[in-house]
Amino acid sequence: MEGVDHLAHERNKSEFDVDAMKIVWAGSPHAFDVSDRISKLVASDPGFRKDNRSTLSRKELFKNTLRKAAYAWKTIVDLRLSEEEAAKLRFYVDEPAFTDLHWGMFIPAIKGQGTEEQQQKWLPLAYKMQIIGCYAQTELGHGSNVQGLETTATFDSQTDEFIIHSPTLTSSKWWPGGLGKVATHAIAYARLIVGGREHGVHGFIVQLRSLEDHSPLLGITVGDIGMKFGNGAYNTMDNGVLQFDHVLDVYSIAFASIAVMLWVSQVTCEGKYKQSDVPRQLVYGTMVYVRQTIVADASCALSRAVCIATRYSAVRRQFGSQNGGPETQVIDYKTQQSRLFPLLASAYAFRFIGEWLKWLYADVTQRLQANDFSTLPEAHACTAGLKSLTTTATADGIEECRKLCGGHGYLCSSGLPELFAVYVPACTYEGDNTVLLLQVARFLMKTVSQLGSRLSSKKPVGTIAYMTRVEHLMQCRCGVQRGFAELSADLVEAAVAHCQLIVVSKFIEKLQQEIPGKGVKQQLEVLCNIYALFLLHKHQGDFLSTGCITPKHAALANDELRSLYSQVRPNAIALVDAFNYTDHYLGSILGCYDGNVYPKLYEAAWKDPLNESVVPDGYHLYIRPLLKQEIRTARL
Ligand SMILES: CCCCCCCCCCCC(=O)SCCNC(=O)CCNC(=O)[C@H](O)C(C)(C)COP(=O)(O)OP(=O)(O)OC[C@H]1O[C@@H](n2cnc3c(N)ncnc32)[C@H](O)[C@@H]1OP(=O)(O)O
Ligand SMILES: Cc1cc2nc3c(=O)[nH]c(=O)nc-3n(C[C@H](O)[C@H](O)[C@H](O)COP(=O)(O)OP(=O)(O)OC[C@H]3O[C@@H](n4cnc5c(N)ncnc54)[C@H](O)[C@@H]3O)c2cc1C
């Protein structure tokens, strides 16, 4: 029945203060207030409806996304929302769109790498959305290998301008979000050529379309690259293709009078290239910034899937009826718990590592401003490795949550198929996960060669086994006289182990903070132990081979895991309630707050367009003749 909380009995079992946990999850009382207020604003506004996406054609879907983006912007302006509130609104609108790249990459690139003069010129226009930007780095022929990009930017000292050109088919820009149909400007990455000499890849702000009639400018060929994985899903985004045919780029950010996009280098009006003495990799700064936001986003996506699967596991009953009594809740099966609760623990673990990474990024940015590059290598390795680790675990976790919901998990109305389809490219964009782990492996090799075998002594006691595992995996590889390429698959495993060590140690450090609320810290300790012991169980071979745990330890750890699952069980619903997601944002009948699943599933089925008529289109044309033929045969 509507209005009845079918999960009330579960909520009454909770042993901790859920409201206090909501604050921990949000990060602060202020952050909770903004999230809570904005998520409810979006949920209550029919203009942000999203339950019809899977029934729209690509063109209808895209036009609807443009409508929503414009409506969101009008809401932001009319309500005078702050930048923080506006970002939250775009988050809860939950629709991949060009605005992700405008706000998530184009503006951060100018803020992070533009000079004062460029920021003054471009940021006001971008903040008012009087220009719409995208981040055009990847090409048809190169994505991972940025140094392999082929687009050229040749300085013409006669005109003081740059000529941006796509010399080959494979140099076509390919994939940039927002590029296909919307962006008026791009930060395009090209090989800088001055006086016939090449100076590597730099960013250039290039206008693509007229601000009068949106037509592509002279020399610009631009369009969408076509349908992507899943029906609705990421097809709300116009990932584009772009070719430059000797485009004069008067706004070149490498141009001395507007100065270079990077404070890394300068091209003077006399056409001289001046490389300052900062690491050339600062040109990758935007990618480092986005990778740390993607880690925080992983905790959001995983917690969303876990919320759905946990609530449904408490609603779903199957087998186990005693003397005609109710069947067993599937959340009570040890197999369901052993699959679900490590994902619940991972969602919290990724939340806290995301908080730490945000601090690390802010710290390295502050240091860069003082020309202190000492922590840049570690920041690169951490953002690359943790982006890889958390997105892989989250993509796998969302699929596991679909399976935890049985057949109904495969319905669009469960919210899980679309969540999976929208989320999985995170394992590829902003750096293919394997390529990024290779960067971590390279950093570890360097660190081992500099520090000797001990990678670091400053880890909490609880992580000794994890640290020993990384050192052991590195020693096994570094000790062997074979090249990096030959050992790369093994070194990637060591890189994963290193990132898992970071996640576990930061979770332990989080628990050393003051955490208010009855029973809150105790719940987080249980989740931290589940995360650490689950990984120890999963990678038992690594830990046993280090000799720092014995088979008996491994068995005890497994016993402890089962006990921890039993401790989580009465608190499971409260722990996912703490994410404070509205039913609108979850977009899932299986995960609805009141647990009233079956009536809602049944009602939703009849809304499918296929049920608009009892006799389906095509019956008279195709089925009736078939049946008539069969009947004739049957009479023979
Ligand atoms: C809200 C959420 C959703 C928001 C919505 C999100 C929507 C989707 C957004 C997706 C947007 C995109 O995909 S944008 C495109 C993303 N593309 C990528 O991420 C490309 C990935 N590839 C790369 O980053 C690069 O090619 C590398 C790092 C793999 C290789 O670069 P390279 O220049 O060849 O460097 P390499 O020889 O490997 O290394 C030379 C030295 O530089 C160092 N180095 C390399 N990179 C860096 C770096 N970034 N910072 C510092 N140092 C670095 C190395 O450690 C090494 O140090 P030493 O050992 O010499 O000391
Ligand atoms: C949904 C989506 C949105 C995107 N948005 C943008 C955007 O807005 N702007 C933008 O510029 N780009 C964007 N991209 C592009 C994205 O950044 C690239 O696809 C990504 O960096 C991976 O590069 P690639 O496609 O060249 O993969 P490849 O490198 O071709 O990967 C193919 C395989 O090769 C392997 N491989 C590659 N190099 C090595 C190596 N050295 N050693 C071992 N294995 C290797 C990889 O691990 C992978 O298994 C987007 C992509 C997607 C899917």
Of the listed ranges 292-306, 391-405, 440-454, the one predicted with least confidence: 440-454
- Order of strands, edge to edge, in the sheet holding 220-224? 173-174, 240-244, 220-224
Distance of CA 92 from the midpoint of ligand 1 (Å): 29
Q: Cβ distance 299 to 350 under 8 Å?
A: yes
Separation in Å, CA 65 to CA 69, 131, 555, 588: 6, 18, 52, 20
| Residue nearest ligand 2's atom 36 by CA | 435
Distance of CA 346 from the midpoint of ligand 2 (Å): 26
Mean pLDDT value across residues 468-489: 80
* pLDDT (0 to 100) of residue 254: 41
Q: Band the pLDDT of 457: cuts 50, 70, 90.
A: low
Ligand 2 test: best mutation among 100, 287, 432, most atoms within 8 Å of CB? 432
Mean pLDDT value across residues 612-622: 94
Could you identify the atom of ligand 2 that is nearest to the CA of residue 228?
1
| Residue nearest ligand 2's atom 44 by CA | 435
Ligand 2 test: best mutation among 175, 236, 433, most atoms within 8 Å of CB? 175
Q: What is the DSSP string of 277-305?
A: SS-GGGGGHHHHHHHHHHHHHHHHHHHHH
Distance of CA 183 from the midpoint of ligand 2 (Å): 21
Ligand 1 touching residue 484 (CB < 6 A) = no
Q: Residue 217 carries which DSSP code?
A: P
Question: CB under 8 Å to 291, separation ≥6 — which residues?
Answer: 383, 384, 386, 387, 430, 431, 436
- C-alpha to C-alpha distance for 142 and 160, rounded to whole angstroms: 29
Neighbours of 442 (CB within 10 A): 18
Ligand 1 touching residue 177 (CB < 6 A) = yes
Nearest to 399 by CA among 315, 302, 534: 302
Angle at alpha carbon of residue 196, lines to 190 and 200, rounded to 5°: 30
pLDDT for residue 380 is more than 90: yes
pLDDT for residue 86 is more than 70: yes
76-89: b (≥16 Cβ within 10 Å) or e:
beeeebeeebbebb
Q: Cβ distance 162 to 256 under 8 Å?
A: no
| Residue nearest ligand 2's atom 5 by CA | 176
Could you identify the atom of ligand 1 that is nearest to the CA of residue 100?
5
Query: What sign has the CA pseudo-torsion 566, 569, 574, 579?
Result: positive
Ligand 2 test: best mutation among 434, 435, 488, 492, most atoms within 8 Å of CB? 435
Neighbours of 512 (CB within 10 A): 9
- C-alpha to C-alpha distance for 461 and 558, rounded to whole angstroms: 20
Distance of CA 145 from the midpoint of ligand 2 (Å): 8
Query: What is the rounded average pLDDT for all residues in the chain?
Result: 91
Q: How many helices (H) and strands (E) does the chain have?
A: 22, 11
Nearest to 527 by CA among 551, 503, 543, 548: 503
Sequence letter at residue 177: G
Q: Is 391 annotated as a binding residue?
A: no
Separation in Å, CA 189 to CA 150, 221, 244: 9, 16, 12
| Residue nearest ligand 1's atom 6 by CA | 100
| Residue nearest ligand 1's atom 46 by CA | 281
Ligand 1 touching residue 139 (CB < 6 A) = no
- C-alpha to C-alpha distance for 228 and 94, rounded to whole angstroms: 18
385-403: b (≥16 Cβ within 10 Å) or e:
bbbbbbbbbbbebbbbbbe
- C-alpha to C-alpha distance for 93 and 69, rounded to whole angstroms: 9
Catalytic, 430? Answer yes
Q: Is 104 annotated as a binding residue?
A: no
- C-alpha to C-alpha distance for 200 and 404, rounded to whole angstroms: 49
- C-alpha to C-alpha distance for 186 and 180, rounded to whole angstroms: 11
pLDDT in tens, 3-62: 788 999 999 999 999 999 999 999 999 999 999 999 999 999 999 998 878 788 999 999
Q: Cβ distance 444 to 474 under 8 Å?
A: yes
Could you identify the atom of ligand 2 that is nearest to the CA of residue 143?
26
Angle at alpha carbon of residue 430, lines to 428 and 423, rounded to 5°: 50
Ligand 1 touching residue 500 (CB < 6 A) = no
Ligand 2 test: best mutation among 139, 239, 429, 439, most atoms within 8 Å of CB? 429
| Residue nearest ligand 1's atom 12 by CA | 430
Angle at alpha carbon of residue 386, lines to 381 and 390, rounded to 5°: 160
Q: Cβ distance 357 to 288 under 8 Å?
A: no
Ligand 1 touching residue 538 (CB < 6 A) = no
With a Cβ cut-off of 6 Å, ligand 2 is lined by: 101, 135-138, 143-144, 175-177, 234, 239, 425, 428-429, 431-432, 434-435, 438
Give the ligand with the smallest distance to the CA of 284: 1
Q: Cβ distance 418 to 233 under 8 Å?
A: yes
- C-alpha to C-alpha distance for 598 and 461, rounded to whole angstroms: 48
Ligand 1 touching residue 435 (CB < 6 A) = yes
Distance of CA 484 from the midpoint of ligand 1 (Å): 18
The more confident residue out of 309 and 547 is 309
Ligand 1 touching residue 281 (CB < 6 A) = yes
Give the ligand with the smallest distance to the CA of 430: 1
pLDDT in tens, 238-263: 999 999 999 876 554 443 333 334 44
* pLDDT (0 to 100) of residue 282: 75
Beta-bridge partners for 155? 162
10, 95, 150, 430: the catalytic one is 430
H/E stretch holding 315: helix 285-315
- C-alpha to C-alpha distance for 460 and 485, rounded to whole angstroms: 33
Structure token digits, residue 189: 């990455």
The more confident residue out of 457 and 348 is 348
Ligand 1 touching residue 284 (CB < 6 A) = yes
The more confident residue out of 232 and 111 is 111
Ligand 1 touching residue 48 (CB < 6 A) = no
Question: CB under 8 Å to 356, separation ≥6 — which residues?
Answer: 506, 509
Nearest to 412 by CA among 51, 59, 60, 57: 51
pLDDT for residue 142 is more than 80: yes
* pLDDT (0 to 100) of residue 73: 96
Neighbours of 356 (CB within 10 A): 20
* pLDDT (0 to 100) of residue 257: 32
Task: Say what the pTM is.
Answer: 0.95
Q: Cβ distance 342 to 534 under 8 Å?
A: yes
Q: What is the DSSP string of 464-505?
A: HHHHHHHHHHHHHHHTS-S-HHHHHHHHHHHHHHHHHHHHHH
pLDDT in tens, 161-213: 889 999 999 999 999 999 999 999 999 999 999 989 998 899 888 999 999 99
Nearest to 52 by CA among 611, 614, 608: 608
Distance of CA 136 from the midpoint of ligand 1 (Å): 15
* pLDDT (0 to 100) of residue 249: 66
Mean pLDDT value across residues 141-151: 97
Distance of CA 598 from the midpoint of ligand 2 (Å): 42
Neighbours of 258 (CB within 10 A): 18
Could you identify the atom of ligand 1 that is nearest to the CA of residue 426?
8
- C-alpha to C-alpha distance for 337 and 112, rounded to whole angstroms: 44
3-class SS at 5? coil
Give the ligand with the smallest distance to the CA of 142: 2
* pLDDT (0 to 100) of residue 285: 81
Distance of CA 496 from the midpoint of ligand 2 (Å): 19
- C-alpha to C-alpha distance for 60 and 397, rounded to whole angstroms: 31
Distance of CA 130 from the midpoint of ligand 1 (Å): 30
| Residue nearest ligand 1's atom 28 by CA | 439
